Amino acid sequence: MDRIRIVGGARLSGTIPISGAKNATLPLMIASLLTEGTLILENVPRLVDVVQLQRILGNHGVDIMIAGKRPGDAPNSGRTLHISAKHIVDTTAPYELVSKMRASFWVLAPLVARRGEARVSMPGGCAIGTRPVDLLIMAMEKLGAQIDIEGGYVVARAPRGLRGGEIEFPKITVGGTHTAVMAATLANGTTVIENAAREPEIGDVADCLNKMGAKISGAGTPRIVIEGVAKLDGARHSVLPDRIETGTYAMAVAMAGGDVLLQNARPELLQAALDVLGETGVAVTPTNEGIRITRNGAALAPVEVTTAPFPGFPTDLQAQLMALMTRANGVSRITETIFENRFMHVQELARFGAHIHLDGQTATVEGVKRLRGAPVMATDLRASVSLVIAALAAEGETMVNRVYHLDRGFERLEEKLSHCGATIERLSA
């Protein structure tokens, strides 16, 4: 398995292009199941998770063509996928595939909406917590699906089609909101979703579905209203920039020091995280081209942060912020409220000499004067990248093992960082 070698201490300067968002790309690809037409997705990042979902959709009969580069395309622009689910040949999503990537469970809603039935394996636990699917099932039931659990599979049936309904989520859920929105687009009648997730990726998927002919309003607010339509058509849509990749590189620059333009980044997608960076003393400047991050030698101030659904501070940046605060001048407190077990990076950061004390859902991070490179690894992608951030400021060499996790969510990470002056290379096994 590949490893990444980093020698810390270099300042970063230059430009890092931000890729299309992984967490919008995945539900957008799944939304292709709702139409016989061709969905053309632009700005798709090259990621292992995208390839994995291609395999899963292929199993349902979805045909995906990756377009070559056209003259005039920017060298860093993402790929264009032509996705056609004209013939759905299989409505079962097997355990072997779903267990590799949780988001593939989301095929349930479009398969039932279009074909009246689906058998999708329960995803099981994962490295960041138990992650149940009860609320996704509840949403499908509210829209008239009959649900049975058989042999580890969720079997959903709506032979006469789904019908509009009222769905009030007792807890904010991104996957539950995607599920409810996709199912409701083809339901008979109007659906109202209360306490919906407001993450920008929900809005991006709704924009694409509306281009396909859906009637969705209120995406991005806690109340989404969907008027069902009889069918959806193909469309062309460009994936929005990745706010988690943006925040990750912003913290990398904050950690290493320097001056970097995060090209194509949009500040409104991660304002809470940018505000926290501002509190640490880092300069955050929105420009016409993206967001400029500058830190010139000044010490980092400690912060108190609690993760929350959008527009709060994202759980997907919690590990990266913790890595940054290991070098702050004082004591930080970081509380995780979304996933109960998202702290694998704590033990690994300790290997660099970080001082972190975990008490329930709160980590107390006492900034240290120096970190020292070490061999490390992690079992989820945000935790893994937090180790890269620590390594950028650590003395000597760090070897990040199990790079597979980074490749799931960060496109050409070592290339983007080395272009800005970091000493980082991939060692192939």
CB of 269 to ligand EPZ, least distance (A): 13
Amino acid at 44: V
CB of 228 to ligand EPZ, least distance (A): 23
Which residues are paired to 375 by β-bridges? 399
Which of residues 53 and 356 has its CB atom nearest to ligand EPZ in the complex? 53
Q: What are φ and ψ of residue 288, in 5° steps?
A: -65, -25
Which of residues 118 and 420 has its CB atom nearest to ligand EPZ in the complex? 118
- Are the beta carbons of 307 and 318 closer than 8 angstroms? yes
Which of residues 352 and 410 has its CB atom nearest to ligand EPZ in the complex? 410
- Are the beta carbons of 62 and 104 closer than 8 angstroms? no
Cα–Cα distance for residue pair 429/427, rounded to 1 Å: 6
Which residues are paired to 12 by β-bridges? 258
Residues that bind ligand EPZ (CB under 6 A): 23, 26, 102-103, 129, 131-136, 171, 173-176, 197, 315-316, 338-339, 381-382, 409
Which of residues 23 and 77 has its CB atom nearest to ligand EPZ in the complex? 23
Q: Check residue 33 and report its DSSP letter.
A: G
When CB distances to ligand EPZ are compared, the closest residue is 175
Alpha helices in 10-107, H assignment, sequence order: 22-31, 48-59, 95-98
Amino acid at 361: Q
- Examine the residue annotation and report whether 126 is marked as an active-site residue of this protein: yes
Virtual CA dihedral for 414, 256, 264, 313, nearest 10 degrees? 110
Which of residues 123 and 258 has its CB atom nearest to ligand EPZ in the complex? 123
Categorise residue 105: left if φ over 0, alpha if ψ from -120 to 50, beta otherwise: alpha
CB of 119 to ligand EPZ, least distance (A): 18
Catalytic one among 122, 126, 283, 301? 126
CB of 24 to ligand EPZ, least distance (A): 8
CB of 248 to ligand EPZ, least distance (A): 11
Q: Which residues are catalytic?
A: 126
